[in-house]
Amino acid sequence: MNAFRTGFALWPLASLHLPSFLLSNKIHSDSDEGDGSIKYTISGEGAGTIFLIDELTGDIHATERLDREQKTFYTLRAQARDRQTDRLLEPESEFVIKVQDINDSEPRFLGGPYIGSVAELSPIGTSVMQVMASDEDDPTYGSSARVVYSVLEGEQHFTVDSKTGVIRTAVANLDRETQDRYEVVVRATDMAGQLGGLSGSTTVTIVITDVNDNPPRFPQKMYQFSIVESAPVGTLIGCVKAEDSDVGENTDMTYQIKAEEGLGAFRVTTDSDTQEALISVHKPLNFEAQEIHTVVVEALNKFADPRFMDLGTFRDQAIVRVTVLDVDEPPEFRPPDGLMEVQEDALVGAVVGVVTALDPDAANNPVRYAIDSTTNQEQIFDIDPETGAIVTSKLLDRETAGWHNLTVLAMEADNQGQVSRTFLRIRILDVNDNPPELATPYEAAVCEDAKPGQLIQTISVVDRDEPQSGHRFYFTLAPEASGNHHFSLLDIQDNMAAVHTQRPGFNRQEQDLFLLPILVVDSGPPALSSTGTLTIRVCGCDSSGAIQSCNTTAYVVSTSLSPGALIALLVCVLILIVLVLLILTLKRHQKGHLASEEDEDMRDNVIKYNDEGGGEQDTEAYDMSALRSLYGDFRETKEGGEGGSPLPSELLALPQGPPPPELDFSLFRDYISRKVGQADQDPSVPPYDSFQTYAFEGEGSPPASLSSIASRSSGSEQDFAYLGSWGPRFRQLAALYARGRPGEDGGEDS
DSSP codes of every residue in 679-726? HHH-TTS---HHHHSS----S--SSPP--HHHH--TTSS---GGGGGG
Residue 615: which of 702, 699, 712 has the closest Cα? 712
**What integer is the mean pLDDT of 394-403?**
91
pLDDT reported for residue 371: 95
pLDDT reported for residue 467: 80
Q: Per residue in 559-580, pLDDT tens?
A: 345 566 678 888 889 898 998 9
Residue partners of 544: CB distance under 8 A and separation at least 6: none
- pLDDT at position 48 over 90: no
pLDDT reported for residue 342: 93
For residue 307, is it left (φ>0), alpha (ψ between -120 and 50) or beta?
Answer: alpha
Rg (CA), the chain: 63
pLDDT reported for residue 322: 94
CB 591 within 8 A of CB 568: no
What is the full DSSP assignment across 143-207?
TTT--EEEEEE-TTTEEE-TTT-EEEES-S---TTT--EEEEEEEEESGGG-TT--EEEEEEEEE
pLDDT reported for residue 295: 93
**What integer is the mean pLDDT of 162-185?**
92
> How far are the Cα atoms of 146, 198, 301, 708 from residue 204, in angstroms, in the given order?
22, 20, 33, 131
Q: Per residue in 455-465, pLDDT tens?
A: 999 999 998 88
| Rounded-to-integer distance, Cα 64 and Cα 39, Å | 24
CB 521 within 8 A of CB 436: yes
Please, which residues bridge with residue 704 across strands?
none
Q: Per residue in 270-310, pLDDT tens?
A: 998 999 999 999 998 888 888 899 999 999 888 877 777 65
CATH 2.60.40.60 domain range(s) in the chain: 8-98, 108-209, 222-325, 332-429, 437-550
**What integer is the mean pLDDT of 1-15?**
36
What is the full DSSP assignment across 562-627?
-HHHHHHHHHHHHHHHHHHHHHHHHHHHHHHHHHHHHHH-TTGGGS---SS--GGG------THHH
| Rounded-to-integer distance, Cα 130 and Cα 168, Å | 9
**What integer is the mean pLDDT of 80-95?**
86
Burial group, residue 509, by CB count within 10 angstroms (0-12, 13-18, 19+): exposed
Give per-residue burial for 196-224: e unless 16+ CB within 10 Å, then b.
Answer: ebbbbbbebebebebbbbbbbebeeeebe
What is the full DSSP assignment across 290-326?
-SEEEEEEEEEESS--TTT--TTTSEEEEEEEEEEEP
| Rounded-to-integer distance, Cα 129 and Cα 184, Å | 12
Sort strands 315-325 and 222-228 into parallel, antiparallel or unpaired.
Answer: parallel
**What integer is the mean pLDDT of 515-530?**
90
pLDDT reported for residue 209: 92
Please, which residues bridge with residue 668 across strands?
none
What confidence tier does 671 reach under pLDDT thresholds 50, 70, 90? confident
CA angle 188–192–198, rounded 5-degree value: 50
Q: Per residue in 639-670, pLDDT tens?
A: 444 444 443 333 333 344 444 455 556 666 77
| Rounded-to-integer distance, Cα 9 and Cα 26, Å | 9
**What integer is the mean pLDDT of 130-151?**
84
CB 707 within 8 A of CB 605: no
Q: Tell me if residue 251 falls in helix, strand or coil.
A: helix
Give CA torsion, residues 731, 732, 738, 740, to 10 deg: 150
8-state DSSP, 374: G
8-state DSSP, 249: G
- The CATH class that applies to domain 222-325 reads mainly beta
In CATH, what number does 332-429 get?
Answer: 2.60.40.60
What confidence tier does 63 reach under pLDDT thresholds 50, 70, 90? confident
Q: What percent of the chain has pLDDT over 70?
A: 74
Task: Give the pTM.
Answer: 0.40
Q: Per residue in 468-505, pLDDT tens?
A: 778 889 899 988 887 888 899 998 888 899 999 988 88
| 3-class SS shares of the chain: helix, strand, coil, % to 5 | 15, 35, 50
Residues found in the chain? 750
First to last CA, the chain: 131
Handedness of CA 695, 698, 700, 705 (dihedral sign): positive
Q: Tell me if residue 666 falls in helix, strand or coil.
A: helix
**What integer is the mean pLDDT of 729-736?**
51
| Rounded-to-integer distance, Cα 606 and Cα 604, Å | 5
The helix (run of H) or strand (run of E) holding residue 678 is: helix 665-681
**Maximum Cα interatomic distance, the chain, rounded to a whole number of Å:** 173
What confidence tier does 732 reach under pLDDT thresholds 50, 70, 90? low
Q: Which CATH superfamily is domain 437-550 in?
A: Cadherins (2.60.40.60)
- The CATH class that applies to domain 108-209 reads mainly beta
Comparing 215-219, 338-342, 594-598, 708-712, the range with the smallest average pLDDT is: 708-712
Q: Per residue in 682-718, pLDDT tens?
A: 766 655 444 444 444 454 544 444 444 444 444 444 4
Q: Tell me if residue 634 falls in helix, strand or coil.
A: helix
What average pLDDT is seen over the chain?
77
| Rounded-to-integer distance, Cα 54 and Cα 75, Å | 18
| Rounded-to-integer distance, Cα 386 and Cα 305, Å | 66
Comparing 307-316, 493-502, 552-561, 591-600, the range with the smallest average pLDDT is: 552-561
CB 404 within 8 A of CB 369: no
State the architecture of 8-98 in CATH terms. Answer: Sandwich (2.60)
Bond into 435 cis (ω within 30): no
Q: At what angle do helices 665-681 and 625-640 cross, to 10 degrees?
A: 110
Neighbour count for residue 638 (Cβ, 10 Å)? 14
| Rounded-to-integer distance, Cα 360 and Cα 418, Å | 11
